[in-house]
Amino acid sequence: MIRLLVLSLVGLSLYCPAALAQSAPPGKLVLWHTPPSMTGSDWVWGPGGEQRAPAPPFSFVKENLGGTNPKVDVRDAHGARWTVKFGSEVHTEVFAARLLYAVGYAAEPVYYVGEGSISGVTGLRRAKPFIAKDGRFRNARFKLRDDSLQYADEYKWSWVDNPFVGSHEFNGLRILMMLLSNWDAKDGRDEAGSNTAVFRQHVARSPIYLYAVTDWGASLGSWGGFFKRDRWNAAAYELQTRQFVQGVKNGNIVWGYSGKHDGDITAGITLEDARWLLAYLSGITTGELRAGLIASGATPAYADKFSRAIQNRIGQLQQIATANQ
């Protein structure tokens, strides 16, 4: 039987301040579920699978001016709608979706497309440098716009105010933020745009609400302040790996991570939280990580460097969890 971390409004006070009960969705709330048995194909295609991958030719719908990165909306040969992102975050988001899927957290179907062509492109502004006059593009992230999984924008959550605070599943998500060096931890408190969201999934009479981190673009580089942080930089990620786990103090793990809301990301994560997550992380092989990275657009050399560093960080968690039993 598939296990879900599910809450109803009846039990909400066990996990969060009473104030959240007024803003939380009515019904079934899900942060995590028992992950699937991953195959090599799952690491390549991610949560959407091969059958839902973007199918050319692509036709232009409009330029999407949301967020900070250049994007356009397109339709593919099957009529599916996609948001196509360009720029420095395309690789990280695709890989993060595969890792999240592998350990049981919500992830949208996203794919890396190395090159292609979009017909009917017109009136571009921010995306103009990334799409040639004949519609050709390179290095893009395609995110499926799925009618069965919609943003419930009326609900917000933060790292300190959500229905799952204090659970292994929530603390596991915080560990993953640090594992991937995702320094852009904006949440519902930030006017500049939250990277946390609630999805409404229509699968039955009553909708299911999925809590998720939706933007992993600022990952796999250096964490830190404005002039230090980076993304998709294997050398920088590898260099900071030695700082990932700092030790244990009063039963809580001490982390090297810094970034947006870093105190809320790092505080109060116990050895038991790490052991819970390791039950799902420890079985991931270097080869699987490498397959997911190459499917995200990494060169073989880059994939090797990233996968070794990720395994090193998982090893640090294993070592500290074992040493402090």
Q: Give the global pTM.
A: 0.92
Position with higher pLDDT, 77 vs 228? 77
Q: What pLDDT shows up at residue 23?
A: 56
Burial 283-317 (b: 16+ CB within 10 A, else e): ebeeebbbbbbbbbbbeeebbbbbbebbbebbebb
Q: What's the rounded Cα separation, in Å, for the pair 31 and 5?
A: 6
- Say which DSSP state 22 is in: G
Q: What is the pLDDT of residues 90-131, one digit of tens each?
A: 999 999 999 999 999 999 999 999 999 999 999 999 999 999
Q: What is the mean pLDDT of residues 32-41?
A: 96
Using the predicted structure, report yes or no on whether residue 13 has a pLDDT greater than 50: no
Q: What is the pLDDT of residues 250-272, one digit of tens each?
A: 999 999 999 999 999 999 999 99
Q: What pLDDT shows up at residue 4?
A: 52
Position with higher pLDDT, 269 vs 204? 269
Identify whether the C-beta of residue 283 lies closer than 8 Å to the C-beta of residue 39.
Answer: no
Using the predicted structure, report yes or no on whether residue 6 has a pLDDT greater than 70: no
